[in-house]
Amino acid sequence: MISFFRKQFLEDRIKPILFLQLILVICVIIVYLHTFNRIDYFYSGILNIIVGVIFLLNGIEIYILKKSGYFLWLILSLLFL
């Protein structure tokens, strides 16, 4: 089970893009916890932009690794941006 997780999420990835995605996910969690019980469109916009950038980085990574499905991630990133 651990070897599947390691192969799926760590070995077939580009490390700088993976670290940048992890930093952005931590930023999303912090912004989400900051605005948990109120409606604030500024922070909602920031969340959408960060999620769009995460999807864009995932699409770029899949394109560099020559895997199929990168076009789907690029479309998703455009929906959030």
List, for residues 21-72, the tens digit of each pLDDT value.
889 999 888 888 877 777 778 888 888 888 889 888 888 888 888 877 777 7
Record the tokens describing residue 35, joined without a space. 């605005």
State both tokens at 80: 């959030």
- Is residue 65 within 8 A of residue 12, CB to CB? The reply is yes
Residue with tokens 């895997």: 67
Which value, to the nearest 10 degrees, does the dihedral of the CA atoms of residues 44, 50, 54, 57 take? 140
- pTM score, two decimals? 0.75
Give the separation between CA 30 and CA 32, rounded to whole angstroms.
5
